[in-house]
Structure formats: structure tokens, C-alpha cells
Structure 1
Amino acid sequence: MFFLAVLVLLGLAFDVRGLQSLIPEEAGIKANSAVAMMLGSLALLRRNHRILTFFSIAVFLIGALTLSEYSLHRNFGIDEFFIRDTNYIFYPGRMSQYTSIGYMLLGLSLLPMNSRHHVLRQFSRVLGILTGALGALAIVSHGYDTHVPNLIRPHSNVSVPTALGLLIGAIGVQYATPSEGIVRLLHADNAGGAMLRRLLPAGTLLTLLLGYAVRDAQIHYRWESGFSLALVGLGVGACLIGGIVLTAVDLERQDLSRRESVSLSMMAAKAAPVMIWMSGTDKLCTYVNKPWLDFTGRSMDSELGSGWAEGVHPEDSQRCFDTFTQSFDRREEFQMEYRLRRYDGEYRWVLDLGVPRFDQDGSFVGFVGIGVDVTDRKRVEQTLRESEARFLDLAEQSRTTHWEVDPQGLFTYVSHVSQASWGYRPEEVVGRMHFYDIHPEEGRTAFKADVFAVIERKLPFLDVIHAVETKDGRISWGSVNGIPILNADGTLRCYRGSCTDVTERKLAEDALSDMSRKLIEAHEQERTRIARELHDDIVQRLAFLAVQLDVVRRNIPDSGSEIGRRIGDLRNQATDITTDVQSLSHELHSSKLEYLGIEVAAKNFCKEFCEHQGVEIDFQSYDVPAGLPSDLSLPLFRVLQEALRNAAKHSGVNSFEVKLWGSGQDVQLTVKDHGAGFDSEAATKGTGLGLTSMQERLRLVGGELSIISQPMRGTTIHARVCHNSGGLWRNDSRLISERG
């Protein structure tokens, strides 16, 4: 249609008569008519856009204004607006009255063709049919060279291009909504569609050919009109009979196919391991398969009609009937559960699924459904509900708040204990607060970052102690446990866990830790005082005594005498005692540790220990951070001292390995031997204070001590302190870790 309009406009622009009429010696199309045809084609091409309204109104206005010129005998100046017409004296450039009517109908049919209202779309299709009928009548008139009154004559002519444009536009309006109207019937996959597709082109073509032949015969052979009409009717009748016969053959083929399909469906229903039923359009049962009969223990005749309902439990009967009736009336799928009496008299729960059935032409023919015995599943669900209820009762009665958060940390569930522990009711928390919102403002950012690092790795955590700011502003402490819940594809669905109020325990532990810290500090201060007194007083006095004894030995005339030798022995003993006391002073308080750091102090201690104990120590160190605070370096140094003394005393070997290194956030120390070993659990529970002292020193600074030892397999002592923990979660031995 668009290209036809462009072709005609080119003919008008360049005065090519053949392009204006398409048929020699026939009236040509006017410029306004070609423009209206182009606008109509654009409306069809852009029918899903808002610009459709503009194009439709423009087509209507062109036709309406032209028709008004004829009615009012006035010239509005639109006839030769685009191209000057030199072919006509009367009404140059003006389209005919019937062409104007055709474009008015076309414009009105284009406007509502995509409306949301069914009535407007139906109105559009009716106007389209009228437009197409006008174009078809003009084409037939041209073809038969029959001047139908007022359609083909000067000043009222509907040209061939115009008639083609109106016909194509009318067809486009019908296809704008292919799921409705005659287009739906034409493309329907049923007997009606098949008949229409056969009869419409055949009847149209035969009628046109007969009409042309009869008209030609009337002119040349002077046939009577009655005989001509009879001949046309005979041809049309033959066409109808042929279409009916072909349709009957197709319907028979479809019926055979449908019967075969039904037969296969019945065979499948009999062999299926589930109960299957069918109903007709009267809502009565028409079929049940063998598993249904085996379940109920009744005959087919007893179950058909409404007999199947006799086995439904009385308490479920009305609900079951209402669900079926409502779904049947609405032609909707349904799902329901009811109790059905089994052959042994026991009522069993059945899950019934029903769907509507339609034949090939879309007609409703009833319902089909399946029934599955779900009694065992119902019992399991009931047991699970009872178990969950007991769990919730216990959870509500405990001091533990149970919670669930989504991957973004938003609470999706908390138990009612939250009101007693946190001061918030569950409805104030769920969907409104994140886990970090209950943490005090101070340290909240670090706490949030630490927890999200755990969530990202999908790790569980155990007995994490953290502060909780209650609704009234108090600070309490909670012990939190959590596990990740994953989806089938491995993505995180949520975290679930518990939070127990351990405020009293935390305060007691803090008090105990404070007391232990003070005792250790007092112990260290006393060791420092004694070490200084030994170094500054006793060692000096012993050194002076050794010097004096040496002077006395030299002043004896006969230094090789017995007295001289004894004085020399006393000097040597005094020197050894001085060295031992000095070593004891260094063990009590290492000045190298205070001024040179843990790495130098540990290396020097191992060297002195080797000299005094006569053993070998393989000392290695690397990546030890400089400037490690004394409150962290001192516990490591004391562990080294205690571990080497115990190894030299109990291992039975004289070769040891010491390793000191840094690893980003912490500093670690291992002391290893391949000696006799011991039972670490028994030693921990014993009365000795060595291991207990090491553990307590490290615990106070957030460190760890692990002992791996078995009889005759050696011992490894591992100590770790965090010098840059970055948060609560990274320096607690019970927190999340890959160690399990």
C-alpha cells in the first residue's frame, strides 16, 4: 500500500499517465488520494505507537474535507495543495465523493484498531469490512467494465489504485488483531477454519469467473438474466458442495485421530501407577482407572457419576465439592487434599490435581485429574510441626535468642526472648534491623566488616562474644553461634543461630582476667626487682670477692702451695657463681627484650641456654615485626623459657628446634623436640603451674597456646599472639576458622 502510493505520487510528479491509473485510458488517482493512502499505510506500519492516532485522523480529515467541498459547494484550497492538476476542467485535483467516503471509513477503522476495549476493536473491524467492500466493488466494476451508478462516472470515479489501496487497508485492519474476528476464524486449526480457507478463495474466484462469463455471454449471445443467475447459482452451489465434501473428509480424519488419541490415553491411564479420573461437561465422573478401583475396592459402576464421592470423609465432603464446582465453572486447574476411604475402611489423605480438558476445536469437554496417596507425607509433616513447636517452646523458655538473617544481614526471624535480652520485640527487629544495629556505636564499623567477611566465606562460627546495646542503652554481652544455610546451587540463603546472654559470665571473666593480669604484673615487677638486685648488688659483690681472692693468691709467696691452690679454687667457684647469678638475673628480666626486641632476645636466650645446659638449639626467625609491644613480646618470651626448660628436663634429648616468625596479623612461636613426649591432657589437668601460666599469659593478650604431644613421639608447643587483629573476630580461638 505504501509503495503503491509512492508509485502514484511519482507518476503525478512527473506526469506519467500510466503510473497514475495503472490501466490505460482509465481515470487516474488524485494527489490527495495518494497522500491519504500513504498516511493509511504508515498508520498500519506504526499501529503499536502513539503516532497511529495522528495518521488515522489525517486520513479521515482528507476524506471529510473533500466531501464537505462537494456538500457545501465550496473550495477549501486542498485539492491542488500538493500537485497542480491539468487533466480536468471541473474540480481539478479533487478526489471523488465515494473515494472521500472510503478514506473517511478507513481513517475511522484505523483509529481504534488497537484499543483496549473489545467493542471498539469490533467496531474497527466492521468499518474495515465496509471499506474493503467499497474498494472491491470498484475493482469489480472496472474489471467488468460495468458502470455501477455513481461509482464510475466523471467526478465520482474510484480509480483502480484507490480501490486497491482501500482493499489493502481494510485487510490490514483485520490483521491488526489476528486473534479476533474473521482472521482468527481463517487461521483456526479446526474444521471451521479449514472450511473457510477452502471456500473463501474458491467461492470468490468461481463467482468472479462466472460473473465475467455470464456478462460476456449476455453481450454476445443475448442470454436472459434469469438463465444467467441460475448458472451463477449452480457454480456457487458446486463450490459449496465441494468444500463441504472436503471438510467432511477432514473431519473424519480428525475424528479417527482423536479416537486413537483417546484410546492411547485410556491405555496409559490403566497402566499408570497413580489414580486417574475423568469427568464430563455435566460434572459427573465418566472414568476411573484400575489403581483407583484397587484403592477403593469398588466396581467401576459404583464410582461413576457421583458415586466416587461416597468414599470421601464426611468432614471433607463439602469442601471437596465446593472446590471442584468452583474450578469447573471457571474452567480452572485445582489442587485439593481430602480423605478417601480405602478398601480396608481406613481413610487415607489423597492429593487431587485436576485440569480442564478441551478438544481440538477448543470446546470444553470436562476435567481430568490424578490422585496420589499422601498420608505418609502428612504424618511426617505433622511430626515435623510438633517437633518445631516443641523447639519453639524450649527456645522461648530459655535465655537464648534464636535468630535468622539474610545475606545482607537483615533479621528475618528472632524469637521472643529478644525482648528480655535486647529490649526489642520481634516485630521491631524482623525486617527493620540488621545484626550490626544492636552492636554499640563504638566499634560497630569494624564489627560489621568482620561479620561480612565471614558471611562472604560462608563459614560457621562458635561462641563469639560481642557487646549488645539494648533498647534502653545498656551494654550487655552475648555469646553468638551461627551456621550458613545454602541453596541447592551453593549460594547463601541465610544464616541461622543463637545469641545467649552471658553478661554475668563476661563480667566474672573480666574480673578474673583483671586479677590474673594484676598478679602477673606483680610477678613481673618482683622478678624485675630481684633481677636488678642480683645484677646490681649480688653479682657485683661476688665479682669483687673473686677479684680479692685472686689478689690474695698472688700475694702468697708460694702460690703453688696447698693454700694457694685452695684460694684459686675458691676464686673459680666465686666466678662460676657470679656467672650463674648473672644468668638467673637475665632469665628473671631480660634487658635485651626490653631494648632490642623479641627476635634478638629469643636468639640470645637460646645461645645462653645452649652454653649453660650443654644442648643444641636450631633457632630460626623471619618476618618478625619490629617494635612489637612488650605486653605481647613478654608472654612469647616466657613461653620460650618455660618450653625449653621443660624440654631439657623431661624430653631426654639434647637437640631442639625453635622457630619465631610473623604472618601479617600475628606473631607465632614453636618449640619442638623429638623426645619422650607426654600426655598433654593429663599434664594440663595436673598440679603443675608451667603450662597453666603459659596459657593464662597468652589468654590475657588474646593469644593462643596449643600443645601437640604423645608419649615417645615428641612435643610441639605453638604460641600465637595478634599484634594487629583489626577486630573482635580475628583474635578469639573459638571463632570461625578453617581449622574447624
Structure 2
Amino acid sequence: MMSRAASGFALVVSGSVLLGWQFDLPILRSILPGRAAMSPLTAVTFVLIATALWLETESSGGHRPIRWLARAAASLALLVGLVTVFGYDLGENLSLDQSRFLDRLGTDGIEPHTGLCFVLLSAALLLLDSESRPRVWPAQFILLISAVISLTSLLGYAYGAEAGYGLARYIPVALPTAATFFVLSVGTLWARPGRGLVAVVTADDQGGVLARRLLPAAILVPAFLGWLRLVAEHRGLLSTELGIAIMVVVSAVLLTALIVATCQSLHRVDLIRKAGERRLATQYATTAILGRASSLSEALPQILEAIGKNLDWSLAIHWSFDAEQHVLQCADTWMAPSGTGQALADQSRRMTFPNGVGLPGRIWSSGRSAWIVDVVRDTNFPRAPSATVDGLHGAFGFPVVGPSGFLGVMEFFSTEIREPDDALLEMFDAVGRQIGQFIERTIAQAELERARRAAEAGRLLQAQENEARRIARELHDDLGQGLALLTVKMDLLRQKPPEAADQLGARMQELLAHVRHLSSSVHDLSHQLHPSKLEQLGLVAAIGGLCRELTHHHGLKIEFTHDQMSAAISPDTALCLYRIAQEGLQNAIKHSGAQQAEVALNGAADAISLRIVDHGRGFDPRQLHGRSGLGLVSMRERVRFLGGEIAIDSPPSGGTRLYVRVPLREIVRETAPPRTG
């Protein structure tokens, strides 16, 4: 935009000058009566440079035909400048523009200043996209030289110094010429605003702000003071020495004031930047807490602390919505290490707030974050006396809103009187919605977990009932009928004992065999209820015996290994690992179709681990939730009771791997002797 404006300015000035020469209007040629006029060739050359600048601006995207036209126009202007400069260097004025306006131009042509500036401007246009070193653009330095030369001529006109805008015996630079050179130099600098020096000045960072503040003052203040001093000296108000002294003092004062104002502005910008960084850090910390927390009791106190610490608040209070009483009640508080806010926190724990009352009620009513500059002076803050005791003043709060609606309020207090921060309030409106979603999601997950556990407990009770029925059937059908038959045989033997001794011995052997069968049935049933080997021989021997027994009865080849197992294992832990091994191997026999399995029992410094692997067809454990899988539920509950871990990996057709780990700290607790007395 600035480059096009500079091109337009040059075209208007050049056109006016050409009209002035065509119709003999001196005011259009020189602006100031009696001063040097812009020559016709100078005006035509300005048209070429302005056209080249306009085309370069249009071709910044890489349009080659327009770029070639721009370069052609700049080359013609460069030719005019070089011919003029070399002509003066040879001591001859080539008078390129005297052919048509000889009677009005006299003997002089384009002045040396003008020729040099044409060379600089056109060279800069030709080198506009050339980079001598990384991020170094020679065209910009060339344009600065042109701007300095033209600015010197402008100041010469402003100060009325003939030598300031003329060179030796040659005609001085015309005012329109100097002004057009300066505007074109600045406009060409802005033709590529994202590069070099211009990029620094136009940047949105602190360096750009400082440059935009100081550069205009660095140019205008000395120029104005110099003009003021000359006026005072010409009118006899000041001597030269005093004028210089006053100019130096005023320059120092003005520049100092400008620097102080700039420093204050940069300080405010830095404070805003730091506040933004603290807001982002707070939002990140809150999101991180919500991401890793597993419960409300874990997350909400940490959120209060994170917001309070990151944003320098002294007290934080969480108010939860009581749907039955339709009030807000204090759910949690946090105080900075200084302990400021104890009185307000104590009063808040004893209070409830209805809709519209106090800061929590006000936020509840509006559904948006709210700010109080000074709670002590606020007319709708019932806890003002406690805040006065604690020295608290500034406060803000935001609503906690979930998908189902309003859930509560979080409010924060400071010992400082703080002005409202709209960006902070807007951010915490979003944070409140995040917290609300987390609260409702956590509550829903807890309800789902309770329902799942209730369902699993019901299924476990049903399984226990089924097991009790099976034992009752075995007692009735096997032991009961066997004992009844034994009773009948013994009664028959009593009523009609055999006369021969060998017959009596045979009958007694038959009864003994029946008794042994009943004893074996009782032993098997007792072993199913509680394995006696576990208490008598220990966990390693019990699991080893289980593996041999299952191999003998079912043909499943089981490889059992153990390593660094302690002899002192608590009964609960031993029973847990034995039952899991029993259930896992029975599942492999019933469902996997495997011919081989591996059982490994390993002890470590802090835990005992059990690993069961079969090479069968596998299954998807997720498909068992809610249907069957009571064995898996029982295993999980046993491990959870001991504070351990259980993992099941069973890809289809990839076998099943069961891993259990029980920590030794639980074993130590369990094996500790009971207290007496």
C-alpha cells in the first residue's frame, strides 16, 4: 500500500511539472516562486521510476512479464542518471532535456544531486530482490543513501540555506524533486516489507514497537529544534552559543521523555505477555490434572492449587451445587503457604449461598465468570468482615458447568486490589466447562463401576450358591447313599452273620472297601473346598502337585518352574495364587484345546509373580464382560483384594498368557502377628 501511494505521489507531481512546462505555469514547476524548478526530463524519469515501483509491487508474486517491464523502466532511469553523472564528471552538461524547452531552461540541465539519486533509485529497483548475504538486502542500504540526500535538500529548503539544496555553482535541487525522491525512497523500501530493516520496523515484537516510536522522533525532533533555533537567531533572540546549548538541552529532555514513555510501554507489553504466559501455563496445568486424575477427590484440590499458584491468588474455594437444597455449599479450600485467608475460609465452610447472593450466587445466576475489584467495598459480598480480617481485596470466580447443567463455582481471592482481566475471565469460562465435563464423566464412570461390581458380586453369589448346591448333591447322592448302603450291609451282617470264618472275613473286606471309597470321596470334596497340601507342603509343592494331577487326569502336558520363592508366604497370598493357577489351568483344559502349558512361579524382592501360558486357540476377554467369565472375575477380585496386578493377553489363535503379580508389602501386612491385649 505504501509503495503504491509513493508511486501515485510521484506520478501526480511529475504530471503537474510537465503540465507546468507545457503551459508555462511556473508554480507547477517549482511550487515556491523564484526557486529552482524540476526539469522536464527529471519529471519523465520520475514517471519511469514510479512505473517501475508500481510494477514491482504488482509482480511480488513472481509474474515474469510485469517484472521485465519494471526492469526496463528502471534501466532507462538508470541510463539517464549515469549519463548525467558522467557528464558532470567530464565537466560537460550534456543538456538532455534542452531540445524542447531550451528557451525556458537556459544553459543548465539536470543537477548532479538529481542524477546521483536517479542512479541510486533505479539501481535499488533492479536489486530489489537480490540478497548479498543471508538476510542482507543491498537495495535497502542504497535507498537509505537516496533518502538521506533528498532529506538534506528538504531541510535546506526548510532552513532557507541555499547551500543545503544546491551543489557548488550548479543549480539547486528543486523542492518537488527533493520531495519526490524522498517519497520514492521510502516507498521502495516498503515494496518488500517482510525483509531486512523494514521487517524489523514493522514487526509486532518489542523491537518493532521501539523502532516505530523512536524513528519518527529521531528525525522530526532534531529537525524541528534546528529550525526553531535558526528562527530565534535570525530574529536576534538568541546568540549562536546559547542557541546550541538550548537545542542540546531540549533534545536531551525530549529524547529522555520519549525513552521513558517507550520503556513504560514496553513494560506494560511485557506484563501483558507474562500474564498471557501464566494464563496458558494455568490452562495447561488444569488440562494435565484432568487428564491424569482418576477421581474428583484427587483432581479438584489440585486444580485449586494450580490456579492459585500460577496466578498468584492467596485463597481458593470450591463450591458444589446441592440439588436437594438448591444452594451452593463449600466443598474444598486451598490457601497459599502464607496462610492468608483463614478467617474467610472458616466462614465459607459454615455458609451456603442461594442463587444471586454473594460472589458464588452471582456467578450461578449469570452463568459467567465474575470479577470483584475489592470485596471489602462490594455491597453483595456477605463475607466482607472476614475478608477485612484477612486483608483480602481482589476476587474472581468462574462457573463449573457440565453437559447436564450447572455444577458449582470456583472462586479466588488476593490481598491486592486487582483490575478486571477480561482475557482471564474468558479463559476460565472455557476451563469451567472442561472441569464440568470431567466431573460428570467421573461420576458416570464411578456409577458404571459400582453397577459393574454389583453385577459381578451378584454373579459371584450365584456361583457360590451353585457350588453349594453341587456340594449338597455330592453329599446326598454319593456320600449319603453310600452311607445308607453301608448301614444296610452292616445291619444285614448283624442280623445274619456268616457261620464260616472265611465268609465273615470276606464280608468285612467288602465293608472296608466301601468305607475306603467313602473316605476318598470325602477327601476329594475337602480338597476342592480347601487344598490341604497348601498348608502342609507350601505353595510351590501345591502348584506342582496340581500340575501333575491335571496332567494325569486330562493329558495336558504342563511344565512347572519356580525361582527364588520364599518359604514364608502368607496363607491368603498362597491361596490366591493357587486358586488362580487352578482356574487358569482348568480354563486351558476346557476351552483352549491346547496340548501343552507352562506355569512359572517367581519370587522377587518386592513381589511374587505367577505366569500361565497355553498354546491353544485363545479368546477375547472383552467378549466375556456381562455374560459369563466368572472365573476371570473371581481371579481379578482375589488379586485386587491383595493390591496386586493381573493381565490377560489372548489373541485369537495365539494362545493365552495370564500374568499375576502380588506385592510383598501386602504379604508382610498379612503375615504380621495379631495384636493382643
TM-score range, shorter chain: 0.3 to 0.5
Q: Normalized per residue, which structure has more helix?
A: 2
TM-score by length of 1: 0.35
Q: Which has the larger radius of gyration?
A: 1
TM norm structure 2: 0.38
